[in-house]
């Protein structure tokens, strides 16, 4: 993904890195290769990572049942996905 640096206006491809902060928070960030300005992409913690994992599992399950033609089950799974997405958004908002 290409972005423009707010600071020096150069265009660059994001090379995302992660570092651990206190309280189990993982911070994902990248730097402008031209001026070295730092950008914080997002933060995660054990709660958001747990929800994210569940979310991925549910999406996989949803695809599986859908591919078997079980539309009712797929709809149920999808509702669960939507709920988890909301939960994830809330948890992310707390730390970002």
As given in the structure block, the two tokens for residue 86 are 């909301």
CB 27 within 8 A of CB 39: no
Q: Which of residues 35-94 bind Zn ion (CB under 5 A)?
A: 35, 37
Interface pick for Zn ion out of 30, 32, 51, 84 (rule CB under 5 A): 32
Q: Is residue 3 involved in binding Zn ion (CB under 5 A)?
A: no
Give how many residues touch Zn ion by CB under 5 A.
7
Question: Would you say 31 or 45 has its CB closer to Zn ion?
Answer: 31
Question: Would you say 4 or 79 has its CB closer to Zn ion?
Answer: 4
Q: Is residue 14 involved in binding Zn ion (CB under 5 A)?
A: no
Per CB under 5 A, residues contacting Zn ion are: 5, 7-8, 32, 34-35, 37
């Amino acid at each position: 993904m290409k972005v423009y640096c707010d600071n020096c206006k150069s265009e660059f491809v994001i090379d995302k890195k992660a570092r651990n902060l206190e309280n189990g928070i993982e911070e994902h960030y990248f730097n402008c290769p031209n001026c070295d300005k730092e950008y914080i992409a997002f933060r995660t913690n054990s709660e958001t990572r747990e929800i994210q994992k569940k979310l991925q599992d549910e999406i996989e399950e949803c695809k599986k049942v859908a591919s078997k033609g079980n539309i009712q089950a797929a709809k149920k799974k999808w509702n669960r996905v939507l709920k988890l997405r909301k939960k994830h958004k809330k948890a992310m908002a707390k730390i970002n």
